Amino acid sequence: MECGRTAAHQPTEKALKLHVESYAGYRGEEEPRAFTLGQRRFAVLEILDRWLEPRHRYFKVRADDNRQFIVRHDSASDEWELAALVGTAPAAQASSLLH
């Protein structure tokens, strides 16, 4: 596996659905620009990595709170999901992740 893709980051079957604001570039491939998890909107500051699997496109992103998330897009259903949270939130932010 390449950097940032370890077995610990493999998605589970019960991934959280996300509302994602995306941008489709000149090739028409969507990239996440922001996503909403619970009541919280996270702006995507940087796409750190991206990769393809047969059913999904994955993006490792850095959000506006400096945490890293892995989100995936199912192009067949056009649904976005949270595949993983990389690292931990500062204690003050941990309880407000979904609020």
Tell me what pLDDT residue 64 has: 97
Q: What is the pLDDT of residue 81?
A: 96
Classify the C-alpha dihedral 66-60-30-56 as positive or negative: negative
Question: CA 50, CA 44: separation in Å to the nearest integer?
Answer: 14
% residues pLDDT > 70 (the chain)? 72
From the number of C-beta atoms within 10 Å of its C-beta (0-12, 13-18, 19+), residue 61 rates as: buried
Can you tell me the mean pLDDT for 37-46? Answer: 96
Q: How many CA atoms lie within 13 A of 15 on its CB side?
A: 23
Q: What is the pTM of this model?
A: 0.73
Distance CA 50, CA 4 (A): 10
Beta-strand relationship, 40-52 and 16-24: unpaired
pLDDT per residue over 42-72, tens digit each?
Answer: 999 999 999 999 999 999 999 999 999 999 9
Average pLDDT over residues 17-43: 90
